[in-house]
Structure formats: C-alpha cells, structure tokens
C-alpha cells in the first residue's frame, strides 16, 4: 500500500508548476485525474522533444496520472466534473487567476458548501489578490526569477539572466503539494477541507531565507548575498569555488572549521607549500580581501592532475569536493540507481521511456510502481464508468468532447 491510496485528485493543472505538485500525489498512490481540453489537452503536450508522438516534457511530469477529456464549455462537461467532485478529496488548478474557475462555477466559494471535505488547491504566479492580479499579469518561471532577486545574482557575460532550470516552478510545485498534504491532515481533525494556495513568487522568496532575514532586519551590509561565497565578492572564497583540473572542473567547499585549519588541511592535501603561513590567508576576513590571490595560488596546482586524483586527497581532509558535471553525466551516477531515482515505464502505443522518479522514499508505504503518462483522453471511458455513467452515456460524453 502507498501513502495516498484511495485519494482522488481532480487535476486542472498544466505545464510545470501544477503538474509537479500533483505528480507527488500520483507517485504515492493518489488517483490523479487530469481534466484536459478537447484536442489540445495540457499545453505541455505541444512541447518537444517527442518520443513516438508523445511529448517527453509532458511525460516527465504526468506519470501514473489519468487523462479525461471533457468540454467544460458544455453543461454536460461541467456535470462530469461535479460527479467527480462528489467522491474527490482534492481539486488543483494553476490558472492565471481565479476568474477562469469563477466563470465555470468551479471557484472555491461556489464549491465550499457543496463539497465541504474538498481541499481546493491553487498555484498562481503571485497570489490570489494584489496589484499583479488586478492587472492580470501572467505568472511564469522567468517572471518569478526576475522579481525575486534570483536573476540578479545569476550574472552572465551580458548581465543578469534566468537560471537555466525551472527552479520557481518546482519549488512552487513542492510547496503546493505540502499545502495539500497539510490540509488533508487538518481535515482528519476537523472533517472539513479548505482553500490552500502558494505562488511562484512566494516560493522564490521562501528559498532565500538565509539572506532575506538579514536584509529585512539589518539591511544590506554588502558582505554576502546568501550564497556563502559562491556569487558574492565578500563571501567565503572557498564556498563553492571552482577550479580547472587537468581534465575538467572541481567545485570545492571548504567550511565548518577555523580558516587557518582549513588552510593547513588544503596545504597538506594539495601539496601547496606555504599556503597556511601566507599572511594573506591567515583568517577568513583577510582571505575575503585576497580572494583573487587565493584562487590564483590554488588554480595552477589543481591544473596539474585530473579530477579523480584530487577528490580522494581532499575528501581525506573532509573537504567537500565534487566534479562539475553535465546533467547527462549526472544521470549516469550509480547513486541514482541505488536511490531508485530512475524509472522505466512502457506504454503499449508510445513504447518504453525512462524518467527521473520520486525523490521521496517511505519505507512502510512506498511509492507506487510508475505508470506511463497518459495519452490525451486515454482514460476518459474508464473514469466515466467509475463515477457511474452507463456505456451509452460514456459514448455520448466522449463523442461530445471530441466535437
């Protein structure tokens, strides 16, 4: 048995943010029914690359879900939603604003009394009210990175830029999943569901807690940006320092002991004679003022050997070190196989595909065996039958959904 067996989720989410949240629920046994528009379905289905006709980006975030195609512009389609909600535990959407669901009569206020045990979860760009909502500003990964301060830290040759991965969408998705699970736990005590929400902007601000409390309470002293030293000229020069080796790059993080002890350990590990006695690196504050000189002192030494020769020497001194890999290289790490992070699924039409699986491991109630992401409308008949529609009604509904 998985942790969420028996839980029904009516899922209106699309693209990344919302599907990332409902993927957590599906991974752990919830029946997640994707409500998809006729013809197009989830917008992510249009994103390549494709494998045997199926979008791989879509497939990566919709494992073990069911697809039900219905036309929400028809009363019959809304009737299907209400039939589903009679036995549902959670409704999730990540539309730009609540007006989409309001127009359908599916906003929380319209459903609260009719389905008192329903947890109604909303992921948005900025929240459910406020100046961005008032002007109907679209939410997006790049907007959240820019508005939160993240892009200002990730500076390239031409200035600030977007981080090359969907950190806002995935952070928001994981937070929304947490909110849903918290509301379900609360329902066990109160007997009632509730409205829960988070936003891309909220998530990006919450992940900067190391730095935001300082800014809010004592202001910006110019000493750090919350990254330790990785991206700030006044941070620790050995926190996330990157050195080129004979065959690649190593990231080195030398922390958690007095700086003079670190210098002695580095001197011994690297054979860098005189490093510990160099007055420029006597303590952290002095080293901050000579970070370029410290890097210049260490870089030629690292360049003398390949990465795999340096790693055991540094690890013997308990200095954190790792090769800087591509994502493709990271996927070949045997640790991922040990952690069961790679899952193989096979669809009778699409064929075999491989994906990164759930990062959550529950010993007594493990995740379900991953099933392939659905083809559009693949489970329409199955879902309709499960909520009491006759075969004639199923055929009618499916026919109307594809008109």
By annotation, the residues acting in catalysis are: 169
Q: How far apart are CA 214 and CA 212, in angstroms?
A: 5
Paired with 196 in beta bridges are 121
Sign of torsion over alpha carbons 327, 329, 335, 339: positive
CA–CA gap between residue 322 and residue 327 (Å, rounded): 14
Q: What contacts 376, CB < 8 A, 6 or more positions away? A: 36, 41, 45, 67, 69
Long-range pairs for 293-300: beta carbons < 8 A, 24 or more residues apart = 294/237, 294/238, 295/237, 295/241, 295/243, 297/272, 298/241, 298/243, 298/266, 298/270, 298/272, 299/243, 299/244
Bridge partner residues of 344 (DSSP)? 354
207: left (phi over 0), alpha (psi -120 to 50) or beta: alpha
CA distances from 297 to 60, 271, 276 (A): 44, 12, 12
Interaxial angle between packed helices 391-401 and 75-85, expressed in degrees from 0 to 180 and rounded to the nearest 10:
120
């Amino acid at each position: 048995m998985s942790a969420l067996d028996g839980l029904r989720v009516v899922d209106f989410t699309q693209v990344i943010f919302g599907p990332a949240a409902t993927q957590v629920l599906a991974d752990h046994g919830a029946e997640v029914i994707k409500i998809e528009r006729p013809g197009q379905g989830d917008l992510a289905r249009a994103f390549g690359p494709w494998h045997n006709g199926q979008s791989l980006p879509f497939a990566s975030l919709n494992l073990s879900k069911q697809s039900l195609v219905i036309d929400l512009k028809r009363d019959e389609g809304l009737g299907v939603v209400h039939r589903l909600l009679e036995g549902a535990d959670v409704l999730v959407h990540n539309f730009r604003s609540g007006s989409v669901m309001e127009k359908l009569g599916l906003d929380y206020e319209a459903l609260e009394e009719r389905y008192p045990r329903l947890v109604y979860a909303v992921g948005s760009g900025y929240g459910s009210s406020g100046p961005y909502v008032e002007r109907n500003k679209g939410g997006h990964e790049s907007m959240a990175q820019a508005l939160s301060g993240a892009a200002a830290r990730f500076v390239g040759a031409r200035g600030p830029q977007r981080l090359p991965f969907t950190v806002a969408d995935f952070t928001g998705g994981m937070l929304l999943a947490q909110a849903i699970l918290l509301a379900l736990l609360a329902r066990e005590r109160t007997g009632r569901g509730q409205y829960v929400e988070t936003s891309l902007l909220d998530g990006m601000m919450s992940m900067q807690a190391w730095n935001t409390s300082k800014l809010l309470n004592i202001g910006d002293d110019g000493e750090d940006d919350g990254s330790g030293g990785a991206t700030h000229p006044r941070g620790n020069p050995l926190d996330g320092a990157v050195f080129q080796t004979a065959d690649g790059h190593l990231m080195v993080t030398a922390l958690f002991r007095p700086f003079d002890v670190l210098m002695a350990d580095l001197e011994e590990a690297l054979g860098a004679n005189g490093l510990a006695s160099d007055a420029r690196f006597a303590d952290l504050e002095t080293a901050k003022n000579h970070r370029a000189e410290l890097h210049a002192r260490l870089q030629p030494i690292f360049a003398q050997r390949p990465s795999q020769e340096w790693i055991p020497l540094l690890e013997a001194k308990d200095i954190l070190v790792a090769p800087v890999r591509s994502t493709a290289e990271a996927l070949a790490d045997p640790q991922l196989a040990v952690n069961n992070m790679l899952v193989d699924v096979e669809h009778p039409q699409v064929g075999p595909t491989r994906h990164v699986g759930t990062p959550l491991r529950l010993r007594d109630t493990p995740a379900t065996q991953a099933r392939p992401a659905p083809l559009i409308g693949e489970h329409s008949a199955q879902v309709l039958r499960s909520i009491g529609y006759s075969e004639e009604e199923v055929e009618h509904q499916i026919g109307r959904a594809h008109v």
